[in-house]
Structure 1
Amino acid sequence: MKNKISFKDVVKTYPMKDATFTALDHVSLDIADQEFVTVVGPSGCGKSTLLSMAAGLVGPTAGEVLVDDAPVTGPGPDRGVIFQQYALFPWLTVRKNVEFGLRLAAIPAEERRRRAERAIELVGLADFADALPRTLSGGMKQRCAIARAYAVNPQVLLMDEPFGALDALTRVQLQDQLLHTWSQERRTVMFITHDVDEAVYLARRVVVMAARPGRIQTIVDVDLPYPRTEEMRLSPEFGAIRNDVWHSVYHQPPATPAA
């Protein structure tokens, strides 16, 4: 299967008063078309920076980022980005929020409506299409944000801890909703999280990063079938993979300073 996203020997540095801070140090990673990959690691490991590069919001200091073998030079409609903050317009209904990107793209009204309703249906908000954000729960707001990303029909979804602010039960429900939607749409997903269980439950591969400087520590294959189920979370197979990822995240050797 061909690569959808490729990070080629990516370096990201930031100037500081008396030194240079290296956020990412020679990171190389390929994500296949239609693959679901999670990225997990300690605070400061550069996982959000990596996602921002794929989104075209941040450029590398060295190396390159490719989507469909073309260099990423900025944001584009082929990549939908979802952050932890919902970023909904409070004066617009769910439907109007989902239609917003389509309106900017000058999509005709009838087509906007059709695509918005399809996206709203996918995330299970059809009964709330005319509701304002203030009437929605946190989980419903995040589903609205996901629907807005889906409506513009991106080939890639870039998700930066989208469920991090939610309670445990809502988080699990949205994980299942996301996997259900992904099974129907089969977009390429790069999902940043600090939660090891979430990383294993969602992904085909878990990329474990190390900090200072940010680099890939290891990549763990999740050899579990889809659809993922609640029973699977309790299985010995899931537990073994989870322990492997947990150990890789929280028992890392100290960084070796670059020469």
Structure 2
Amino acid sequence: MTTKISFQDVVKTFPLKDTAFVALDHVSLDIADREFVTVVGPSGCGKSTLMSMAAGLVAPTEGQVLVDGAPVTGPGPDRGVIFQQYALFPWLTVRHNVEFGLKLAALPAAERKRRTDHAIDLVGLGDFADALPKTLSGGMKQRCAIARAYAVNPQVLLMDEPFGALDALSRVQLQDQLLGTWRQEQRTVLFITHDVDEAVYLASRVVVMAARPGRVHQVLKVDLPYPRTEEIRLSAEFRQIRNEVWHSVYHQPQAASAA
């Protein structure tokens, strides 16, 4: 399978008073085209830093990050980024929020409308296309943010705990909706989360990080079929994989997780 994202011996350090904080320590990881990979780990393990480097928002201190074999040197339209905070323009409707990036790309009006309508339909917000963000629930706001990322037609979706601020029911609903959209659109997804159940439910592989310095501790394959359903979530097979990931995250050697 073709590699879409490649982290090659990546090191990231941040300066402190008299020393340097090592956020990531020689991380190597390949993500295949159209694969859904989740990253989970203890606080301070460098999950968000890893995603930010793939997005081109943070440069590695050593090593390199490749997308389609080319070094990442900055943000680009080939990578859609979705954060925990919705970052919607409050004065724009759902439609105009989703269309915003397409206007920046100077696409013709007809093509903007086609892409915008398609993205809004993908996330199930067709009845709210003309609503302002203040009238939407948290889950609907996040769906709008996802639609905005999809509208620019990225090949890669980079998601940093996008459902972290939602209530439990909205979170489960958004997980199912995201998987439905992913199976339809077949993007490559790198999804950062602190929730073990979410990590297992969404992914074909779960990357468990170790903290301080951040590094890959274990990669576990999720050998469960898509589409994922409530039956799968409640199955013994799911519980077994979930327990393996939980143990890998929370029972690492003390030296790996100490502050």
TM-score by length of 2: 0.98
| Amino acid across the alignment from 2:138 | G
Partners of 1:7 and 1:65 within 8 A in 2: yes
**Inter-partner Cα distance in structure 2 for 1:131 and 1:207:** 38
**Inter-partner Cα distance in structure 1 for 2:9 and 2:181:** 32
* 3-state DSSP of counterpart to 2:216: strand
Partner of 1:248: 248
* 3-state DSSP of counterpart to 1:13: strand
For 1:234-258, what per-residue CA distance to the aligned partner results, in whole angstroms no more than 9, with x for missing partners?
A: 11100000000000000001336xx
Partner of 2:56: 56
For 1:181-218, what per-residue CA distance to the aligned partner results, in whole angstroms no more than 9, with x for missing partners?
A: 00100000000000000000000000000100000110
Partners of 1:213 and 1:255 within 8 A in 2: no
**Inter-partner Cα distance in structure 1 for 2:15 and 2:148:** 36
For 1:24-76, what per-residue CA distance to the aligned partner results, in whole angstroms no more than 9, with x for missing partners?
A: 00000000000000000011000000000000000000000000000000000
1:174 to 2:174 alignment: yes
For 1:70-105, what per-residue CA distance to the aligned partner results, in whole angstroms no more than 9, with x for missing partners?
A: 000000000000000000000100000000000000
Partner of 1:9: 9
* 3-state DSSP of counterpart to 1:73: coil
Partner of 1:163: 163
**Inter-partner Cα distance in structure 1 for 2:254 and 2:158:** 29
Partner of 1:217: 217
* 3-state DSSP of counterpart to 1:165: coil
Superposed displacement of residue 20, structure 1 = 1.1
Aligned residue runs from structure 1 range 217-236, under 5 A: 217-236=217-236
**Inter-partner Cα distance in structure 1 for 2:18 and 2:53:** 26
Partner of 2:112: 112
**Inter-partner Cα distance in structure 1 for 2:84 and 2:158:** 12
Moved over 3 A (4+): none
The unaligned stretches of length 5 or more in structure 2 are none
1:185 to 2:174 alignment: no
Superposed displacement of residue 163, structure 1 = 0.1
1:100 to 2:100 alignment: yes
Partner of 1:31: 31
**Inter-partner Cα distance in structure 2 for 1:210 and 1:36:** 20
Superposed displacement of residue 159, structure 1 = 0.1
* 3-state DSSP of counterpart to 2:206: strand
Superposed displacement of residue 222, structure 1 = 0.1
Partner of 1:91: 91
Partners of 1:11 and 1:61 within 8 A in 2: yes
Partners of 1:211 and 1:255 within 8 A in 2: no
The unaligned stretches of length 5 or more in structure 1 are none
Aligned residue runs from structure 1 range 129-208, under 5 A: 129-208=129-208
* Higher mean C-alpha displacement, 122-131 vs 11-20: 11-20
For 1:113-165, what per-residue CA distance to the aligned partner results, in whole angstroms no more than 9, with x for missing partners?
A: 11000000000000000000000000000000000000000000000000000
| Amino acid across the alignment from 2:22 | T
Partners of 1:159 and 1:192 within 8 A in 2: yes
| Identical-pair percentage | 83
**Inter-partner Cα distance in structure 2 for 1:255 and 1:20:** 19
Aligned residue runs from structure 1 range 75-86, under 5 A: 75-86=75-86
**Inter-partner Cα distance in structure 1 for 2:158 and 2:220:** 20
TM-score by length of 1: 0.98
**Inter-partner Cα distance in structure 2 for 1:236 and 1:99:** 43
**Inter-partner Cα distance in structure 2 for 1:4 and 1:13:** 25
| Amino acid across the alignment from 1:144 | C
**Inter-partner Cα distance in structure 1 for 2:160 and 2:20:** 25
**Inter-partner Cα distance in structure 1 for 2:140 and 2:249:** 31
In the alignment of these two chains, the number of paired residues is 257
